[in-house]
Amino acid sequence: MDAQIALLLAQDGLVNGAVYGLMALALVLVFSVTRVIFIPQGEFVAFGALSMAMLHAGRTPTTLWLLLALAGMVLVVEVWRWKRGAAVDWTSALVWCVALPAVAAALVLGLKPESLAAQAVTTIVLITPLGPLLYRLAFRPLANATVLMLLIVSVALHGVLVGLGLLFFGAEGSRTPAFSEARFDIGGLQITGQSIVVVGVTLSLVVLLFLFFGRSMIGKALRATAMNRVGARLMGIPTELSGDVSFALAALIGAVSGLLIAPLTTVYYDTGFLIGLKGFVAAIVGGLASYPLALAGALLVGQLESFSSFWASAFKEVLVFTLIIPVLWWRSMFSRHVEDEE
């Protein structure tokens, strides 16, 4: 290997690592706020990428029908809960079940966006509400279950979504055009515009999230919930709000990641799962709690993957997933007293 190839691999690893970093951020966010280990995070990536591809091909993305069906189901559930005397926050319910799906339907069916940017926005509007809707259907009824139960629910939901992905998009993969066709040559190193877009969008999302958690009231409420669930509830932060917002953010991050990688690699209905899992490896580096460590882990995963694809391409996935073992070993070195489960 010469320096040229090494730089190329490093660049590749950085771009992939950025996407894994986004995954890891979403996973840490959802876990710390809701205790859900959100295995289906990767499905948002695949759904986002493939919806974008369908929009680009001038077809109606099947995810629209999924969104409308889920919105209808959640509405039915909310009415049923309301009839049984549960307190239902109709504002948030209507935002997720009516307003956003209506906007998405109007964009897809009415506006039929032509430009790449408009299609990207449409995709994001299409995918983001899926997060809170799935949360309300699958996880909210089990809000008091153990982490283990929620994990099993997560895996079941992953199964459903992958199956639906195959049904919606078929077994063939898709690729979308790059957001930027530019190419730069810096000291013999080819840098594509798309990779700059990926890293740039990732960085700006990280900064936006940082501002959201540091400045906004809802962001602070989420942080409070992550630190002390009961305490936050006693201070009047509804569990529902934290669930809705964290899952919406996860779906949003997933959709954006899907848009970012679709021009770089062919996305199949089940590609998201592997991407999500690599995000998990990164998130575990951060103990499912630390955002900066998770991002660092993601960069490590990206580099490991990129360099192992050069030396031992057949064992690329094996190497990436076995990274989890030394990481866990290292973590367990520092834990002496037993931790009680929640």
Partner 1 sequence: MSTPVPHLPLAPSTATTGPVRGFITRRQLTVASVVLLALAWHWLPEFTVVVMSYIGLYALVATGLVMLTGVGGMTSFGQAAFVGLGAYATAWVCTSPASVSVLGGIIGVAGLPWAGLVLGLGITFAVAWALGAMTVKLSGHYLPLCTIAWGLSLYYLFGNMDFLGGQTGITGVPPLVLAGWSLASPRSLGVLIWAVLLLALWLLHNLLDSREGRAIRSLKGGRVMAESMGIDTARYRLKLFVLGALMAAISGWLYAHLQRFVNPTPFNLNIGIEYLFMAVVGGSGHLWGAVLGAAVITLLKEKLQDLLPSLLGTTGNFEVIVFGLLMLLVLQRFAGGLWPTIARLSQKFLRPETPRRAGKIAQLAKRTLPPPGQVLLQASGVTKRFGGLVANNAVTMNVKAGEIHALIGPNGAGKSTFFNMISGVDDPTDGEVQLMGRSMARLPSRVFASLGLGRTFQHVRLLGQRSVIENVALGAHRRARRGWVASMLRLDRAEEAALLEEARSQIGRCGLGAHADAPAASLALGQQRVVEIARALAGQPAVLLLDEPAAGLRHLEKRALAALLAQLRAEGLGILVVEHDMEFVMNLADRITVLEFGTVIAEGTPAEVQANHRVLDAYLGGADEPMERAA
Q: Would you tell me which residues interact with partner 1 (CB under 8 A)?
A: 37, 39, 138, 141-142, 144-149, 151-153, 155-164, 166-167, 170-171, 274, 277, 280-281, 284, 288, 314-315, 317-318, 321-322, 324-325, 328-329, 331-332, 335-341
Interatomic CA distance for residues 95 and 75, integer angstroms: 11
Residues ≥6 apart with Cβ < 8 Å to 60: 54, 108, 109
Give me the count of residues in the chain. 342
CA atoms 121, 240, 157, 226: torsion sign: positive
Minimal distance in Å, beta carbon 157 to partner 1?
6
Tokens 């993601």 belong to: 298
Closest CA to 167 of 338, 47, 38, 322: 47
Minimal distance in Å, beta carbon 214 to partner 1?
21
Q: How far, in whole angstroms, is CA 149 from its chain's centroid? A: 21
Minimal distance in Å, beta carbon 130 to partner 1?
15
DSSP-based three-state secondary structure for 179: coil
CB of 42 or CB of 129, closer to partner 1:
42
The torsion angle over the Cα atoms of residues 142, 147, 152 and 157, rounded to 10 degrees, is 60
CB of 256 or CB of 277, closer to partner 1:
277
Interatomic CA distance for residues 251 and 286, integer angstroms: 21
CB of 2 or CB of 340, closer to partner 1:
340
CB of 4 or CB of 322, closer to partner 1:
322
Please tell me the number of Cα atoms within 13 Å of 118 on its side-chain side: 12
| CB 15, CB 264: distance < 8 Å | yes
Minimal distance in Å, beta carbon 32 to partner 1?
13
Report residue 41 as tokens. 């995070």
**DSSP assigned state of 187:** T
Q: How far, in whole angstroms, is CA 323 from its chain's centroid? A: 21
CB of 72 or CB of 159, closer to partner 1:
159
Q: Is 85 left (phi over 0), alpha (psi -120 to 50) or beta?
A: left
CB of 251 or CB of 284, closer to partner 1:
284
Minimal distance in Å, beta carbon 168 to partner 1?
11
CB of 6 or CB of 142, closer to partner 1:
142
Report residue 257 as tokens. 């990641």
CB of 245 or CB of 284, closer to partner 1:
284
Minimal distance in Å, beta carbon 240 to partner 1?
17
Minimal distance in Å, beta carbon 316 to partner 1?
8
Minimal distance in Å, beta carbon 288 to partner 1?
8
Q: Which burial class, exposed, middle or buried, applies to 303 when counting CB atoms under 10 A from its CB (0-12, 13-18, 19+)?
A: middle
